[in-house]
Amino acid sequence: MPDSHTLTCLSCGQGNRLPEGRLGDNAKCGTCGAALLPAKPVALDLQLLEKAARRDTLPLLVDFWAPWCGPCRMMAPEFEKAAAMLHGTARLAKIDTQGHPDATVRFNIQGIPAFILFRDGRERARLTGARPAGQLADWVRGQVAAG
């Protein structure tokens, strides 16, 4: 485990360093004051997603979804529950593929909902399809434990 983590503020995009021991705290961005470890998933655009995926050392789980997708809408409350389950272990974010179609091309999204887990500048794992929050949280914990 590192002594500290690099986290991109999911509101303003500023890089922050957070000591390992403060992952359970309500740490805030040094620039804008937004929560660095929000309790709920945060909506991102492609530019902010790429920056966080490239720089963050704490796992970042991103839900690629669209408002017209029934399974995506069904998954939304489960994804929020998973965010609470994973607080301090991973951050959760969402990107609307209808509003940001370039994200589907950039990350080769073939079907939605799709989940990509990023850590230390690269994609670590990928999963597709709606599932219960507990199953999603267990999958993330397993991926994090595997390194």
Residue with the two structure tokens 């399809």 = 129
Among candidate residues 12, 29, 32, 72, the one labeled active-site is 72
Burial class (CB in 10 A: 0-12, 13-18, 19+), 70: exposed
> Can 29 be counted among the known catalytic residues?
no
Taken in order of first residue, the domains within the chain and their CATH numbers are 39-146 (3.40.30.10)
For the segment 68-87, the average pLDDT, to the nearest whole number, is: 95
pLDDT, position 2: 59
**Residue 5 to residue 118: CA distance in whole angstroms:** 14
pLDDT tier for residue 102 given thresholds of 50, 70 and 90: very high
Residue 80 is predicted with a pLDDT of: 97
pLDDT at 1 over 60: no
pLDDT tens column, 28-66: 999 999 999 998 999 999 999 999 999 999 999 999 999
Per the listing, tokens 């945060």 go with: 42
Residue 21 has pLDDT above 90, yes or no: no
Rg (CA), the chain: 14
Tokens of 117: 């887990």
Specify whether 12 is catalytic: no
